[in-house]
Amino acid sequence: MGGGRKDSQNNIIIKNINNDFVLTNKKLPTRRGVIWLGQTCNLNCYFCYFKERIEDKSHPEHPFFTLTKAKEICKIFVDDYGLNSIDIQGGEPTIYPHIFELIEYCNKIGLKPTLITNLISLANVNHAKKFKDAGIYDFLVSLQGVGETYDKVVGKNGAFNKQMQALENLANLEIPIRVNAVLSNEIINDLEKITQIALDYNARAVNFIGYNNTGDQKMLRDKYKIPYYDIIAQKLEPLIDKLESNHIEVNLRFLPFCVVNEKYRKNIQNSTQMLYDNHEWESSSRLWIDRPNQRRAKEDIEKRRTIYYLSRFKLHKIYRGNLREKFIWFAKFIKPFITFSPKYAPIPAYQKPILEKMRFYTPDTYFRSGFSKIEHFYFEQKEVLEQLNKSKIHHQKCQSCDIKEICDGFACDFIDEFGSNAIKPIKIANGKQSNPRFYLKDQLKVIEKEEWEWFFSKDEISRIK
């Protein structure tokens, strides 16, 4: 197994872009959390993870949280998980009645706030200005198409014009933006225009996101709505070049590695790569925030119980799986007690609060040398969730692929609809790869100046200034 930290991070590139952020190939686990304030929204995107919960006003996840509950969650992120930045979303966070107080509170307790938003309520410049005054750090704007295509996808006439007005307002207010674009069938012919909008408004990063069949889309996704991966890849590759030559970070989320040419595999972000993206969500806090109590306005917040939750998944498999699954999971479950303890890489100071409640945790994934206990926990958690979720599969053809270990595979319904022609097993000269950063080490990512002190060594910081 070609695991280990082959990317020993000796050749660290740091490019100072505008004194507010650098682009670097150095990768550390993220310190960002996420909060869903409730599934109340001013749009109705057909592909949304929460489409049913947004339409059904009686759904327990529909109403917005009280400010007290939102603040409590944020405080737990800081105290229990050592997080220092947060994505606030919903639903639509810009219409949350207490949004300005929440942004102010996040800044006060040391969480740099981002809003993931459709932005349309910020077409009103006075409303937009209040976000600046409250101390918003940046907006992650969802661009789901252009003109009438956008209005159709999000289910509201005139929405695109409002979004463009809002972008203009943010440019005037000098609030940074990043971009999300879900790769729906409708968007494919608008990708050049979306790229141009990102360039015109100085986006720092653009995330092209594979249309996922999770959440409410497990039931709602129609097969004819799934775009073919090869077509997406052909469109995206020249756009990645264009964006990167303008110093914009590009991520291709949830797409299998083999659908793009080798040069662009550094941009592919599957579940294990996203652990090293400072604009993605820290994994143990994600386990906690994903629990129903932390998603519903009326429920009390649960205490953190990260590893017990993971154990429950394991036990679930032992009790409910077929005989073979039972055996495999039992063997995995008892393995930590019968094997010697391997030497894990040290963890950085900022991860100490996470380890606090994981002292007795022993990973049961195979040991990857050079990675910390927490990173092993992250890998194991992803494996368990993948088994339970089953929205993605490794097809028979994937078995001969040398990077299967670090790739999430293909969406099940994609294979049902199109067969396995899009799968092209990858061969690596050194054999199989289990290092999640195998390709990622060559990608340059945004690290904002507020992060430099914990992210870079003193020597590295002296190279920036």
CA gap 405, 434 in Å, rounded: 5
406 half-sphere exposure, CB direction, 13 A CA radius? 28
Q: With binding defined as CB under 6 A, does residue 443 bind ligand SAM? A: no
Q: With binding defined as CB under 6 A, does residue 47 bind ligand SAM? A: yes
CA torsion, points 382, 388, 391, 394, in degrees to nearest 10?
A: 70
Total residue length of the chain: 465
What minimum distance in Å lies between the beta carbon of 282 and ligand SAM? 17
3-state secondary structure of 268: strand
Q: Which stretch binds ligand SAM (CB under 6 A): 26-34, 45-53, 339-347, 357-365?
A: 45-53
Residues in 204-223 at the binding interface with ligand SAM, rule: CB under 6 A: 209, 211-212, 217
CA gap 294, 450 in Å, rounded: 28
Indicate the residue among 89 and 381 with the shorter CB distance to ligand SAM: 89
Place of tokens 């006075």: 126
H helices of 155-262, in order, are 159-173, 191-200, 217-220, 229-245
94 half-sphere exposure, CB direction, 13 A CA radius? 27
Indicate the residue among 47 and 438 with the shorter CB distance to ligand SAM: 47
CA gap 201, 166 in Å, rounded: 11
Indicate the residue among 95 and 401 with the shorter CB distance to ligand SAM: 95
CA gap 350, 450 in Å, rounded: 14
What minimum distance in Å lies between the beta carbon of 116 and ligand SAM? 4
CA gap 391, 415 in Å, rounded: 11
Q: Identify whether the C-beta of residue 269 lies closer than 8 Å to the C-beta of residue 252.
A: yes
| Binding characters for ligand SAM, 162-201, by CB under 6 A (x = yes) | ------------------x-x-------------------
What minimum distance in Å lies between the beta carbon of 279 and ligand SAM? 12
What minimum distance in Å lies between the beta carbon of 38 and ligand SAM? 11
What minimum distance in Å lies between the beta carbon of 174 and ligand SAM? 21
What minimum distance in Å lies between the beta carbon of 173 and ligand SAM? 19
Q: Which stretch binds ligand SAM (CB under 6 A): 42-50, 306-314, 336-344, 452-460?
A: 42-50
What minimum distance in Å lies between the beta carbon of 18 and ligand SAM? 25
Indicate the residue among 61 and 380 with the shorter CB distance to ligand SAM: 61
Q: Which stretch binds ligand SAM (CB under 6 A): 22-30, 72-80, 88-96, 255-263?
A: 88-96
Q: Identify whether the C-beta of residue 194 lies closer than 8 Å to the C-beta of residue 156.
A: no
Indicate the residue among 118 and 149 with the shorter CB distance to ligand SAM: 118
CA gap 330, 130 in Å, rounded: 55
Indicate the residue among 255 and 415 with the shorter CB distance to ligand SAM: 255
In which element (H, E) is residue 108 found? helix 99-109
Q: What are 323's two structure tokens? A: 């005989």
Q: With binding defined as CB under 6 A, does residue 150 bind ligand SAM? A: no
| CA distances to 414, 450, 456 from 114, in Å | 32, 13, 22
Indicate the residue among 152 and 335 with the shorter CB distance to ligand SAM: 152
Q: Which of 29, 82, 90, 145 binds ligand SAM (CB under 6 A)?
A: 90
Binding residues with ligand SAM: total (CB under 6 A): 18
Residues in 111-140 at the binding interface with ligand SAM, rule: CB under 6 A: 116-118
Residue 176, Cβ neighbours under 10 Å: how many? 21
Q: Which of 40, 84, 142, 272 binds ligand SAM (CB under 6 A)?
A: 142
Indicate the residue among 156 and 432 with the shorter CB distance to ligand SAM: 156
What minimum distance in Å lies between the beta carbon of 101 and ligand SAM? 19
What minimum distance in Å lies between the beta carbon of 255 and ligand SAM? 11
- Check whether the bond before 90 is cis (ω within 30° of 0): no
CA pseudo-torsion sign 296, 301, 307, 308: negative
Residue 181, Cβ neighbours under 10 Å: how many? 21
Binding site for ligand SAM (CB under 6 A): 41, 47-50, 89-90, 92, 116-118, 142, 180, 182, 209, 211-212, 217
